[in-house]
Structure 1
Amino acid sequence: MRFAYSAEFRVETLGCDDEHMHGRNIMLKAKFVLEETIRTLYCDRSLKCMKVADLGCSAGPNTLLATSNIIDIVDTICTHLNREPPTFEFYLNDLFGNDFNTIFKSLPDFYKRLEERKGYRLGSCFINATPGSFYGRLFPSNSIHFFHSANSLHWLSQDPLLGLTAEKKSLNKGNCYIVSTSPPTVYEAYLKQFQKDFKLFLKSRSEELVSGGAMVLVFFGKSNTPRTTGWEIISLILNDMFLEGLIEEAKLDSFNIPVFEPTIEEIRHVIKEEGSFFLQRLELCTLPWNECTNEDGDNDTILDGNTRAKVITKHVRAVMEPLLSENFGAEVISEIFLRYQKKIMQLVEVEKLDTFVISMTKIA
C-alpha cells in the first residue's frame, strides 16, 4: 500500500469542524445518506481512481472523518461486489487561512491506522489540499466523482446587507443578524445572498463533476416552526453591550453575521432553478439542543444544564471568535461568551437544532 500527500495550492471555503455538535440521530442519518449515495455512484461504474473533494474541511479533530468514512463505505462495496479497491484521490478544501499544515502533520498517523484496519484490501490513497472559496470553481471540468460538505454552506460569501442603502440598513439598527424585530427587507437581503451563493456553488460543482457524479451536503437550516438561533443570541448580546458602552456604535452598525439558515422550500427552489442536479434526498433532521452537546457521542450520558451550555458555548466560540475579534477587538470576547453561556442555559432545554441532509446527482 502506497501513500502520498501534497499541498496543491490553487484557486476558497467557509467551514469549521468545531460546529460538529450533531447528535447521534443526525450523524446516523447523514451516514446512511452518504452510504446510499456512494453505493449508487460506485455500482454504476467501475472506478480505478476515485476522486473525492471534502469542502469546508477545517483543521480540527474531525477533519479526516469524512475521508475515513468514504474509504470504509467503498471498501465494503468492493468486498460485496468482489472488486479490487480503487486508488483514492482526496482533496481537502477550505479558505486560504485554514491550517492545512496541521492536517498534513496528522496524515502519517491517519495512514498508519488505515493500514492497520484495511491492510492489503486498500489501494493507494493520496490526500491533497485545495485552498479557496467553494463559491466558485476549484477543480478542472469533469474531474471529480464525489463532493462532500458538512456544516459549511449556511455561511455566506459576504455581508448580506452590503448592497442595501443606508436607510434600509438603519431599519435593523442595533442588530447584526435577523431577529424577531427585523423588517422583511433584512430577511430578503439574507435570502438573496444565500440564493446567489448556493446557485454559484451548484453551478461550479456541476462543471467539476463527471457525468453522473454526486454529492452529499449537510448544513444548518430551519423548519417552519419559529425558534431562537445562536446567531440571534449573539446579536442581542452585542446590542446589550453597545447600550452599556462596551462596544462602539460604528462597529456594531458595520457588522452583520454572514450566516443564513434556509427553509426546505428555499433550498428546493435554488436547486430547481439552477437545474444541474437531480435531487435524490432532502431531509430535515431536528434535535433538541440538549441532545447535541455530548462530545463523546454518547447521548445516554446525562449532562446538567450548565455543562450543556458550556459545551455549546465552546463550539460557538471556536466558530465565531475570529470574526468577532476582527470587528470588535479581542478584549471583549470573553465577556461576549460569558453572556452567551448564561443565555444558552435558559434555552438549552427548549430550543432545537435543524440540519438538512441532501443528496444530489449531476444530470448527464
Structure 2
Amino acid sequence: MEAYAAQFNNNFQTFLNTRAQELVPGGLAALVMFSVPDGIPLVNNAAGSFYNTFGSCLVELTKMGILSKEKMYNPTPKELEGIIQRNGNFTIERMEKMTNPKQQVLCSASDLAVAMRAVYEGLVKEHFGDEFVDKIFNHFATKAEENISIIGQRVQDSMMDLFIPLKRI
C-alpha cells in the first residue's frame, strides 16, 4: 500500500505543478476529488469493497489464464492536504465533503458496474487490451450482485467527494 501512496503522491505533485504553471498568482483552481475517510482502513470502506470485488474478478480471470491483477489507490483528506502543502504552489482555501444524495440510496449491482466501467475502462483497456474490457466488467457485475449488500452499505458509510478550492501562491 505504501508504494501506491508514494505513486499517488508523485502523480498528484506533477498535477499540482502543471496547474501552477497555468495559473497566475492569486488564481483559483477548484478540485473535486474522490477520497476515503481518515482512519477507516481500506478494507472497511466502499473503495475497498469495490477493489476487493474488482480484484477478485481479476484473480478469477487470471486463474482462467486471461489476466493478471492490478491495484488502485485513493487518498484520505489528510494525505491530500499534506501533498498540497508540500507542493508549495497553492494554499487550500477550504476542503469540504460534498453531499451526494445518491450515496444515501443503495445502488443496484448494474449501477455499480456501470460506474466502475466509467471510471476504470481506460485503465483496464490500457493494461489488458480492448478484447478483455467486456469480460472484466461483465464479471464485475456478476460479483457485485453477489456482494451488493456489503458494497451498498459501505458506499453509504464511507465514500466521499471533496471540494477543494486552491489559490495559486
Shorter-normalised TM range: 0.7 to 0.9
| 2:46–2:154 CA contact under 8 A, matched in 1 | yes
Per the TM alignment, residue 309 of structure 1 is displaced from its structure 2 partner at its CA by 1.9
Distance 1:317 1:338 in 2: 10
Per the TM alignment, residue 334 of structure 1 is displaced from its structure 2 partner at its CA by 3.4
Identify the residue that residue 152 of structure 2 maps to in structure 1.
349
Distance 1:218 1:236, change over 3 A: same
TM-score of the two chains, using structure 1 as the length reference: 0.39
Q: Alignment partner for residue 73 of structure 2, among 254, 260, 272?
A: 260
Q: Which runs of 4+ in 1 moved over 4 A?
A: 329-332
Distance 1:357 1:198 in 2: 16
Alignment of 1:227 onto 2:32: no
Identify the residue that residue 312 of structure 1 maps to in structure 2.
112
Task: Please state which structure has a larger fraction of its residues in strand.
Answer: 1
Identify the residue that residue 164 of structure 2 maps to in structure 1.
358
Give the letter for the 1:280 counterpart: E
Give the letter for the 2:97 counterpart: L
Specify the SS of the correspondent of 1:231.
Answer: helix
Per the TM alignment, residue 354 of structure 1 is displaced from its structure 2 partner at its CA by 1.8
Per the TM alignment, residue 332 of structure 1 is displaced from its structure 2 partner at its CA by 4.2
Per the TM alignment, residue 331 of structure 1 is displaced from its structure 2 partner at its CA by 4.7
Structure 1 gap segments, 5+ residues each: 1-186, 293-298
Per the TM alignment, residue 239 of structure 1 is displaced from its structure 2 partner at its CA by 0.6
| 1:310–1:341 CA contact under 8 A, matched in 2 | yes
Distance 1:350 1:287, change over 3 A: farther
Distance 2:137 2:8 in 1: 27
Per the TM alignment, residue 228 of structure 1 is displaced from its structure 2 partner at its CA by 3.8
Identify the residue that residue 59 of structure 2 maps to in structure 1.
239
Identify the residue that residue 276 of structure 1 maps to in structure 2.
89
Per the TM alignment, residue 348 of structure 1 is displaced from its structure 2 partner at its CA by 4.4
Alignment of 1:323 onto 2:123: yes
Distance 1:246 1:281, change over 3 A: same
Distance 1:201 1:322, change over 3 A: closer
TM-score of the two chains, using structure 2 as the length reference: 0.76
Identify the residue that residue 134 of structure 2 maps to in structure 1.
334
Aligned identity (percent) is 29
Distance 1:279 1:189 in 2: 26
Residues 86-116 of structure 1 show CA distances to partners (whole Å, capped at 9, x for unaligned) of xxxxxxxxxxxxxxxxxxxxxxxxxxxxxxx
Residues 317-357 of structure 1 show CA distances to partners (whole Å, capped at 9, x for unaligned) of 23333433444354544343233223333234312222111
Distance 1:356 1:342, change over 3 A: same
Give the letter for the 1:350 counterpart: Q
Per the TM alignment, residue 271 of structure 1 is displaced from its structure 2 partner at its CA by 1.2
| 2:57–2:143 CA contact under 8 A, matched in 1 | no
How many residues are aligned here?
A: 157
Distance 1:328 1:199, change over 3 A: closer
Structure 2 gap segments, 5+ residues each: none
Distance 1:233 1:200 in 2: 30
Distance 1:287 1:332, change over 3 A: same
